[in-house]
């Protein structure tokens, strides 16, 4: 499972945000849409406040 320090996963996520997470997670359509669009407010509503370092890649 990747982490925010996993540069290969983050690069893949940046190139292909709809398919990259599928290799590691089962996400709902709403979660995939929030990741793909960079909807930080929606993501933070699920996970809690992201610090600047972790929110930057979104």
Tens digits of pLDDT across the chain (58 residues): 555 566 787 788 788 877 777 776 777 888 888 888 888 889 889 888 877 776 666 6
| Domain membership flag for residue 1 | no
Structure confidence at residue 6 (pLDDT): 67
Instruction: Please report the pLDDT score of residue 37 as a whole number.
Output: 86
In 1-58 the beta strands, taken as DSSP E runs, fall at none
* Reported pTM: 0.52
- Pair 31, 46: CB distance under 8 Å: yes
Please check whether residue 2 lies inside any domain of the structure: no
Q: What is the pLDDT of residue 22?
A: 74
Domain count, the chain: 1
Query: Which residue segment(s) compose the domain that 24 sits in?
Result: 7-56
The pLDDT of residue 4: 54
Neighbours of 12 (CB within 10 A): 16
Q: What is the pLDDT of residue 57?
A: 65
């Amino acid at each position: 499972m990747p982490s925010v320090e996993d540069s290969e996963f983050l690069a893949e996520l940046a190139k292909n945000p709809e398919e990259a997470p599928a290799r590691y997670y089962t996400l709902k359509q709403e979660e995939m849409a929030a990741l793909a669009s960079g909807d930080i407010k929606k993501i933070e509503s699920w996970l809690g406040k992201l610090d600047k370092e972790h929110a930057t890649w979104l």
